[in-house]
Structure 1
Amino acid sequence: MKGKQIAMAVLTAGVMLMPSLVQARHAAVSGAVTIVHADRLAKNLQVRGSSDTKILDRIQNILRTQEQGQTVPEQKNLPEKQGLARWYMNSRDEGGTLLFSDSPEYVNQNGILYQDSVRGDARVLFYHLNSSDEPKKLAVVLKNEYNGKNTVTVTRGGSGQPSDDYLKVGKATQLEYFSQERNQKISLQPGMSRLLQENMNMTILQPGELTYGVFDFHAEHSVLVSVIMLDAYGDPVTAVENLPVLPKDAMRLRGTFKGMNRVLSARKVYNPGEDGGVYFMLADDKTDKYRTGIDATDGSAVINYGNYGINYRIELPVEAGDVDYYLSPLGGVYAGAMRSFKATKTYTLFPTPGERPYFGDRTAPESYAVQSQREAGKWQLAQNTELAPLGESVGQGETVFEFSPPGASNLPVAVVMLPKK
């Protein structure tokens, strides 16, 4: 990217988005009841915890339908210009530890891509491409560092099938990650090593293919977590003992980050009749700062450009009136999903966008003046600004959104709240 886009957008979860790869991205879901918000697809995409439908089958159906373009357009018909004011949010980081592995993104030899010890609540995110000329495997190996029995419980996770369609991999990964809670127990005796997911030993990356995964887990005692690349027919558990730690690439996107979740809460209750249209930014490193951490392999300080692997909880109370919510991509092409909560165990899934694999390519780049004005707190929403619907709220109450920056998408994005008219 050139010009202003370099200043306002981080590229992908590996900071490498090529024009020829501008295709599908990813999406997100989770909870007890899932409703995919795409009007024409309601019959096919509504998920209500059916026990006879596999998660991956649902994901493939969603992706297949999106690619065929069988949804109504979601672009809101706006006046020529819609003036918006910044909505101020309080931010705090909480939760366990994020282990982020995305450097080297393009891997051409066997080795350890990232490694650190963790205890308690944790999340591991890996995003790597096989750039060698041979089939490979990527695996996450857990080694018990405690002198007694240790139990690791995987509470949530997803990993798209490896493919050279990188954006589709990302979309499938987040769909699976947010689709359901898990309760997978991994028992480790002293000094014992096991895979985080057994299917990692059977998943092959052909040359040029990407693998991307996100897994939440809880370790009762300390475990050494190793993300490794190895030969297609090697044994990860034994191979990790002899593999070298590979050096970072120029982007240095790997590290350990304390506080794997971010809570954004509105500073005041929104009254659409009085406040009018408002917006706030996500992952812009201005109002929503990037996380800093440490690369445990060499002790250096690192920055998570894009806050990849950070889960956001966005709390938006409304005083009265009806509100429409939207997501708008400002850094370029983007695909993902968000979910909103209206009750404790009920959520609604919103692909962003739902009508096609990605969006953002039709939004004209901001001029320097418009960008400066938006960053100062006033934004003119132009006719060609793309918006993905995130549902609506009616009357007094609070809408809570869950969001995580999708790998392979451009940032930042804006959340827009408009009085319903």
Structure 2
Amino acid sequence: MKLSLTRKPLLVGILALSCSYVGAQTLTTDMIKALTSAKQGSIVLLPDFLSEKIPYIGYQQIVMPGPQHVISDDPEYIRVPEGIALQERVAPGAVRLYVYNVNGVVEPAKMPRKISAVIQNTGATPMQLRMLRYSSQPPSANYYLVGKNGLADYFASKPDTKVLTIKPGERVAIDPKLEQNVVTYDQLTHGFYEFTIDQPGLISVVQTDPATSGPAAVARLKDVLPSKSKSGAGRGVFGVSNYRIITNDIYDTKDGVKELVMADGVKDPWVLGSEGSSSAVAKLSGNYGVMYNIEMKWKSTDGKGLALVTWNARGGGQWCDAMANSMVVSEGKFKQGIIQLPADKLTTGKAPEAILVQIFKPAANGEEQTIKMTWSPPGASCLPTPLVFIPIDL
């Protein structure tokens, strides 16, 4: 996850979006045909149509109950052979942990490493840990692939029936796969988990040599690596893990093209938290790992259907040349479920490329309908990634 002029950015410059759409508002016959004939998740070319000045769909953003949100992405690149990149205390209850760290060791030489997540039971009685959602990706230098598959696997995962018991004072690896992975230089370790604990705990993300267990490395290290601040989205425990997004008004297809914009740092500010090693206020630039549960009411008084697309609004340049995401969308022309964006290739580039997410049919009598989506900011891609709603003839 990157914020500015770094090799694999997530956000490059925040521009205020105007509420007047000065781009082309009318789809050509070829573009309509391309949308209506496209497969779900495929790239569709919309020349001279996509713009950062598409009118907003206003919404209310409600913080919903959710797990403690712990993220390890600062320092994103761990430059020392052994060190703790994150260490945070968590209370009994639900925890969402997002590990996004890279083997960045070049001194004394590039070397294979292990990056593992460890939890210690700091309570007085045995801890019961039960995994609710689990996503663990093989280490890779293809950050787009890892971020895209990581979200898709998280959405698809189910609660585990097994319970891990951890003795008071004991340290264990949260994810056995991370314990086994060998991470070479510039490879990303990506783990995305949600679990419950019934005792207080201490979570650490550590880089060490492949032969040393994560718990053993944490036990012999005393200090947490300093923050790099400019090389990652942030680290700490954050106060928001789930948003409910409710549109202010019923969107009518007769009102033309409109978009939902989230995780832009302006309309949707970055969530705040605390950073345990310094007691400083932490900012999660990008809101990574936060789940946006969206409910959009719409109707069609002109008989048009509604195409939902997304695109790489920061497309182009050295840092934002591609975008890849995964989300959950309700039923329309295609079945409800998880869709990788794009589905027919790894990434999308810049405009005129758009990704078809879903097509919604108008009600026969023009009655109100509700579109439901679960969206989260895509790791390794520039933000924002708008959701654009386009009235079309079906």
Q: TM bucket by the smaller chain?
A: 0.7 to 0.9
Letter in 2 for 1:259: V
| Counterpart-to-counterpart distance in 2, 1:113 and 1:20 | 20
Q: Aligned ranges for residues 326-405 of structure 1 at < 5 Å? A: 326-332=309-315, 333-342=322-331, 347-359=336-348, 361-363=349-351, 384=352, 386-394=353-361, 395=363, 396-405=368-377
2:307 aligned partner = 324
Per the alignment, in what secondary structure is the counterpart of residue 161 of structure 1? strand
Of 232, 236, 241, the residue aligned with 2:219 is: 241
- Alignment CA distance shift 1:310-1:113 (3 Å): same
Per the alignment, in what secondary structure is the counterpart of residue 297 of structure 1? coil
- Unaligned 5+ residue runs, structure 1? 1-11, 22-37, 43-70, 364-383
| Counterpart-to-counterpart distance in 1, 2:327 and 2:121 | 35
Following superposition, the deviation at residue 99 of structure 1 comes to 0.6
Pair 1:96-2:96 in alignment: no
Identity of aligned residues (%): 23
- Alignment CA distance shift 1:228-1:410 (3 Å): same
* Residues 170 and 408 in structure 1, CA contact (< 8 A), matched pair in contact too: yes
2:29 aligned partner = none
1:291-344 deviation digits (Å, cap 9, x = unpaired)? 11111111111211111111111111223453221112212321112111349x
* Residues 43 and 354 in structure 2, CA contact (< 8 A), matched pair in contact too: no
Q: Aligned ranges for residues 19-418 of structure 1 at < 5 Å? A: 73-76=43-46, 84-94=54-64, 95-109=66-80, 110-118=82-90, 119-132=92-105, 133-183=110-160, 184-243=162-221, 244-251=223-230, 253-273=234-254, 275-320=255-300, 322-332=305-315, 333-342=322-331, 347-359=336-348, 361-363=349-351, 384=352, 386-394=353-361, 395=363, 396-418=368-390
Question: What TM-score results when the alignment is normalised by the length of structure 2?
Answer: 0.79
1:256-281 deviation digits (Å, cap 9, x = unpaired)? 101211121101122213x2221121
* Residues 307 and 405 in structure 1, CA contact (< 8 A), matched pair in contact too: yes
Provide the alpha-carbon RMSD of the alignment. Answer: 2.8
Letter in 1 for 2:67: G
1:55-86 deviation digits (Å, cap 9, x = unpaired)? xxxxxxxxxxxxxxxx9643347769998422
**Higher percent of residues as helix:** 1
- Alignment CA distance shift 1:107-1:14 (3 Å): farther
| Counterpart-to-counterpart distance in 2, 1:318 and 1:289 | 26
* Residues 39 and 72 in structure 1, CA contact (< 8 A), matched pair in contact too: no
Letter in 2 for 1:326: V
Show structure 1 runs of 4+ deviating over 6 A. 38-42, 77-83
* Residues 74 and 354 in structure 1, CA contact (< 8 A), matched pair in contact too: no
- Alignment CA distance shift 1:39-1:105 (3 Å): farther
Paired residues in the alignment total 342
Following superposition, the deviation at residue 208 of structure 1 comes to 2.2
| Counterpart-to-counterpart distance in 1, 2:4 and 2:382 | 9
Following superposition, the deviation at residue 131 of structure 1 comes to 1.4
- Alignment CA distance shift 1:218-1:82 (3 Å): closer
Following superposition, the deviation at residue 182 of structure 1 comes to 2.6
| Counterpart-to-counterpart distance in 2, 1:72 and 1:115 | 41
| Counterpart-to-counterpart distance in 1, 2:281 and 2:385 | 26
1:358-389 deviation digits (Å, cap 9, x = unpaired)? 12x332xxxxxxxxxxxxxxxxxxxx3x3211
- Alignment CA distance shift 1:77-1:106 (3 Å): closer
Question: What TM-score results when the alignment is normalised by the length of structure 1?
Answer: 0.74
- Alignment CA distance shift 1:15-1:405 (3 Å): farther
